[in-house]
Amino acid sequence: MPKKHDLSVKKAMRHPDTLGAGAKKRKHLGPKSKVEVVMKEFKRGTLHSGHGGKITNPKQAIAIGLSEARKHGAKIPKKKK
């Protein structure tokens, strides 16, 4: 039997390649799941920035995932300089 976490990630990955479709599906995920789904979208090529451009840099994809997780309330430390 699949775990609830796995099912929510699979459900979030079911979206068309249209602008904003992935963000709407990620809205109700937990912080850890958000980062996981963002990276899967990046690998699949369906991750877009807020302005509509396709994300091609993996560091930028990680930054998007961590940013969304922080907005959701995850205690993720900021990058040390």
63 neighbors 50 (Cβ within 8 angstroms): no
pLDDT, residue 49, reads 83
CA gap 8, 31 in Å, rounded = 12
- Give Cα separations from 20 to 4, 36, 73 (angstroms): 24, 17, 21
CA gap 35, 72 in Å, rounded = 11
pLDDT, residue 57, reads 93
CA gap 46, 81 in Å, rounded = 31
pLDDT, residue 36, reads 84
- Decide: helix, strand or coil at residue 59: helix
Tens digits of per-residue pLDDT, 46-64? 888 878 788 899 999 988 8
% the chain with pLDDT above 70: 68
So where are the chain's domains?
4-72
